[in-house]
Structure 1
């Protein structure tokens, strides 16, 4: 086993996951126009992705008890890439819903698989690494968003962007997969999987869900917020998600250093507070520059929320890491996928600014409950 090589391969998989998510996220305005959707219909399409994740996650522990992340990664990424690359090809709204459902299902399983491997690599290396892996997810998100910012002025069509990016990312994942651990399943991995989070996992899951509402909001609504509420041009609007992801990547690459020196509860409390302040700034000052600055602060704040919670989920006594992560992800992914539709429903009734305000509120709740969620356990 080459741990350094496996670490590099897993970083590539996190990058692919983030870039795929961002690739379709920056095309939300194009998807809305292509299918002639209002905010509510667009929110339902996003909810279909959340439904796919909710269907997949209760089975994730059982699936990972039988097959390693290395074996699962190529097929799951192939499904994700095919769905993302096809989003602007059909004209029927029902087909869009089916694509989003399949994407949510495969992306959720892929996320649990790579986080399971990240927990194992962190254990073998005997030092914090989870934040750095999630930093690659954010770096992928920044790259996916920045790519469209560069391609849009050149006249590249949204459909061509989706298809080309999906193909390139699928090939990168396929090339990296053989170098992952491919470890044998431990006996503890074969115990009955948790279908829903219980006990300490429940609060970890709730906070992950609240934190991932913010990430999901940036993926799905930051570009539209800048375009629709602040009248920013397309090239500037696409930087909304890039500024968030870039700042989040910086925060995560420094997160392992911070985790080695700052108590987890203290770090989570500060992270939630900074995220709340960042989103409040973006909404309070109606200028694209202020929004980009606020999104960047929010990215720094949210950078270590999920790594801290997922790492804690993989270390709950008496629970196999894959099952703990899957249980917390079941709530966390519901937040990422269902949060943006919730924002859409509020936007339809009031405004997108009002809808995004819930992100600031949820970040404040994460800060308030940090001590209770991450208190030491025997």
Structure 2
């Protein structure tokens, strides 16, 4: 199958859109909290509802994508993902918000598996590393979404208007990009029958899933709580607080765009060890300082630290012998996204029991755990 420049840019556009949409949700976490009059624990439960929806999606993502192809599932789920943004502060109450976020999590998870499967196929057929760069586009989208959100809030645009504009723009981008993705491919003849649907990961996939979960728990904590941390703990105005997400995403994007070259030069263990140490040190700085701009620099360091953890592990999961790429990614994602979605809820509960500052030390703990487990990646996750 010939891979063209158009295929690569279509995939980059999908990752960018995913990051932009997710960043818009991150920017409006304080808006949602204030609109529905809920505390950190209730907000954490709302995020857990999204996690429950994501787990439902992941149990079927491999089968759906295997049947319909990444292109169709990306188009369908990506458009719904964008449209659900418009309802974040339009629900009649907190229970309805939980339902919306459950649907949000479901389509997010399937969209993510679809575009990661596409990226894995582009790597395979193009014979060169691409996954870190694709995830860099996710981070670039996150930076753009957070920065533009900060700008429009500072300019006085209402939250609902902002959500509507973003939803419309992202539907357009996803729909156009989907038309340029690779056509559906037949399943490999040597794929095991069980790999065609969802199964709990075992062996190599289980190890990759646990390691990815550690990275995504910490990454999800920054996405969902950094803006509120700046606003609530450091008393930053919302337009400045939104820069925490932008700083984290910009640094992560920059590191990911160089990640494919680093994956070709350094071993996965060396990269994971350095990443964990840097992320732990930077997050400690964030939590110890009282100065907002120092905290923003710290969030950038955390972004660099976590930048290439997931691309390495997702790329490896798509190359497990006898397992279709979509099923391998879905199996690892099931473990990883359980942490990604449940982690913020746990942090919300810890924040109510102590403080948000104390709760965010979870990020430091998991970064240290990633560094300590670096040797377990030597089984071969290099592109």
Which TM-score band (shorter chain)? over 0.9
Assess if the C-alpha contact under 8 Å between 1:65 and 1:190 holds in 2: no
- The CA deviation string for residues 73-129 of structure 1, in whole angstroms up to 9 with x for no partner, is 121012111211110112311110011000100000010011111111001111111
Aligned residue for 1:113?
114
What are the Cα deviations for residues 261-290 of structure 1, in whole angstroms up to 9, with x where unaligned?
Answer: 111121111111111111111001121112
Residue 317 of structure 1: CA displacement? Answer: 2.1
User: What TM-score does the superposition give when structure 2 sets the normalisation length?
Assistant: 0.96
- Give the TM-score normalised by the residue count of structure 1: 0.97
Which residue does the alignment assign to 1:222? Answer: 226
Stretches (4+) displaced over 6 A = none
Maintained 8 Å contact 1:52/1:101: yes
- Let me know the Cα RMSD of the aligned residues: 1.3
The residue number in structure 2 matching 1:123 is 124
Give runs of aligned pairs for residues 1-378 of structure 1, distance below 5 A.
1-188=2-189, 191-192=193-194, 193-376=197-380
Which digits, 9 at most, give the CA deviation of each residue in 1:147-166, with x for residues without a partner? 11110111111111111111
Q: State the secondary structure of the residue aligned to 1:68.
A: helix
Rounded to whole Å, the distance in 2 between the matches of 1:343 and 1:129 is 33
Aligned residue pairs total 377
C-alpha displacement of 1:190 = 7.5
**Structure 1, 267-276 or 223-232: larger mean CA deviation:** 267-276
Structure 2 residue runs without a partner (length 5+): none
Counterparts of 1:198 and 1:373 in 2: how far apart (Å)?
15
Deviations 1:266-325 (A, max 9, x none): 111111111111111100112111210110000001000000110111112222211111
Is the contact between residue 85 and residue 159 of structure 1 (CA under 8 Å) also seen in structure 2?
yes
Question: Could you tell me whether the CA contact under 8 Å between 1:14 and 1:114 is conserved in 2?
Answer: yes
> What is the Cα deviation at residue 2 of structure 1?
4.7
Stretch of structure 1 that moved more, 186-195 or 9-18: 186-195
2:351 partner SS: helix
